[in-house]
Amino acid sequence: MRRPLEIKGEEASMRTIVSLTSAFESLSSMQITKTKGKVLISNEFFNEVWNIYKQIRMDVMFNFGRAADETPSDKELLILITAQGGLSGDIDQRLIKKFRQYYDESKHDIIVIGHHGAGQLEQAKIKYNQYFDMPKKDFINVDPIMKLIKKYQKSRVFYQDYISLTQQQIKDLDLSEVVSHMGKIADLDTVDDEKITEKTYIFEPNAYAVATHLETSILRLTLTQFIYDSRLAQLASRFKAMTAAKERSIETANELHTQFSRAKRALVDVRLKESLAGLKKIRAGGAE
């Protein structure tokens, strides 16, 4: 039988885990609220920029801000947005699994954002072309990623999408299709706005250069929103994982407390039996 002090030590350790998981749960909840606000602001700003761009675009295709003489690579660039560290549940494992079902080494190059995803790719012995840390602060500089995207004809983003605190899903989307889809949504809100044309505005140095600049801004907003969405889903997954871990820790701590009480009572019973047995021997010796 285990000693009561040993069980008591394990219970104390489990209570510490309960405190830690509760702290992570509360922190994730606060960060979720903050990140949600960032997502809404990003959506509103995208709508405003798209409303200007759609009226002066020079081409039906979204060119990612490339100059007319730039020839992109025929390979498809895969962008993986993952958590920076652990404690985020199984969401990154699910993302890597979906990515591997799509990935073909001869057809794709890889950019990975977040140390956790990079580590999983290394374990799977899949080489990536570029790595970036998951931004920790509100300001997100996606310009280095944009420079790489412009070198490719097609780009696909694998990211985590927030649905609710208890549900997150993995998505993979063609970047140009995403921009067009978001633009259609923006069009619904801006259909009656004042038209922006060369007849009513002066473009410097020309309308094509302005359209290219706006494409760069739209791409920046789209990538930023992907990262915000992924961060939101990662925080929700962490919240869910920490909640589950806290509940399991509480159950285990309660079980250990019960075991401690039983072991302590059993030890008292053993000592009482030993005392009674000793008393009987003393009495038996006195009777002789």
- As a whole number, mean pLDDT of residues 45-67 equals 58
pLDDT tens digits, one per residue of 234-286: 888 777 777 777 778 888 888 888 887 887 887 777 777 777 777 777 777 65
Q: What CA–CA distance (Å, rounded) separates 213 from 221?
A: 13
Per the prediction, the chain carries an average pLDDT of 75
Q: Is residue 41 very low, low, confident or very high in pLDDT (cuts 50, 70, 90)?
A: low
The larger pLDDT score, comparing residue 41 to residue 237, is at 237
Tokens of 194: 């004042």
What pLDDT does residue 79 have? Answer: 92
The share of the chain scoring above pLDDT 90, in percent, equals 12
Q: Are 78 and 109 in contact (CB under 8 A)?
A: yes
The larger pLDDT score, comparing residue 67 to residue 236, is at 236
Q: Compute the Cα dihedral for 238, 239, 241, 246 and give only its sign.
A: positive
pTM beyond 0.75: the answer is no
What pLDDT does residue 158 have? Answer: 92
- Domains of the chain (ranges plus CATH)? 46-241 (3.40.1380.10)
CA-nearest of 114, 215, 123 to 157 is: 114
